[in-house]
Amino acid sequence: MSYFHIADDTAPAGVGDGDEVAVLVAAGEVDFAAAPQLRERISDQLDAGRRQLVLDVSSVTFIDSTAIGVLVGVITRLQDAGDGSLAIVCGEENRPVMRIFDISGLTGLVAVHRTREEAFSALVTAG
């Protein structure tokens, strides 16, 4: 009934520290049924040694509190360890999800970029 999809994409050459960068693109509804998949795909990238993650949720239509909890968990672990980052991309047209990010406090914890390019340049600047 509900649809959720998450896939890997590649970062353009020269972004961040090369092998450290991973791009994940999610689409559809991220609810309590889908949140474990989100967690797994992020963990897979971290386990593979990628420490600069970019998660594009521009095509996500719904994200619940358990999925936001997953993102907060990843972000705070990386911040505390000081060895990586998770940047979130949410297109300007995706007002419903952006509003949920605001209300839930996620935007106070991490920068939410409007485009992937903006997220990539933030990586470059940080590196």
Minimum CB separation from other proteins for residue 34, in Å? 9
Judged by CB under 8 A, the residue of 5, 48, 49, 76 near other proteins is: 76
Nearest to 97 by CA among 88, 85, 86, 110: 88
Which CB, 7 or 65, lies closer to other proteins?
Answer: 65
Alpha carbon separation from 99 to 12, 43, 56, 89, 105 (Å, rounded): 29, 26, 16, 14, 10
70 binds other proteins (CB under 8 A): yes
Which CB, 41 or 62, lies closer to other proteins?
Answer: 62
103 binds other proteins (CB under 8 A): yes
Rounded Cα distance, 109 and 73, in Å: 11
73 binds other proteins (CB under 8 A): yes
Nearest to 56 by CA among 43, 42, 66, 36: 42
46 binds other proteins (CB under 8 A): no
**Contact yes or no for 12/120 (Cβ under 8 A):** yes
Minimum CB separation from other proteins for residue 67, in Å? 10
Residues that bind other proteins (CB under 8 A): 1-2, 29, 31-33, 62, 64-66, 68-70, 72-73, 76, 96, 100, 103-105, 108-109
